[in-house]
Amino acid sequence: MSTEKELPTYIEQQLFYRGRKFNFDVNKLRLPNGVEGNWECIRHPGGALAVPITQDGKLY
């Protein structure tokens, strides 16, 4: 039995916006259980923010 955590596999990475202060990209991932989904990510030097959004557009 392995004690290493399984990590998601990146299938595709797409940069949506590149700005002076931050970048916004969308990554298609395959989770260890085989489920595929998109991970939207805002990247800022020195910080990060993740906002979960449901399929019906609600923010958490």
DSSP state letters, 1-50: ---SPP-PEEEEEEEEEE-SS-EEEEEEEE-TTS-EEEEEEEEETTEEE-
Number of domains comprising the chain: 1
Q: What is the pLDDT of residue 14?
A: 96
**Range(s) of the domain holding residue 23:** 9-45
CA 33-57-47 angle, to 5 degrees, is: 75
Q: What is the pLDDT of residue 1?
A: 54
Q: What is the pLDDT of residue 52?
A: 83
Q: What is the pLDDT along the chain (60 residues), one digit of tens a residue?
A: 556 788 899 999 999 999 998 999 999 999 999 999 999 988 888 876 777 888 888 876
Q: CA-CA distance, 37 to 28, in Å (whole number)?
A: 6
Task: Name the β-bridge partners of 46.
Answer: none
Residue 57 lies in a domain: no
Tokens of 21: 């202060």
Q: What is the pLDDT of residue 46?
A: 83
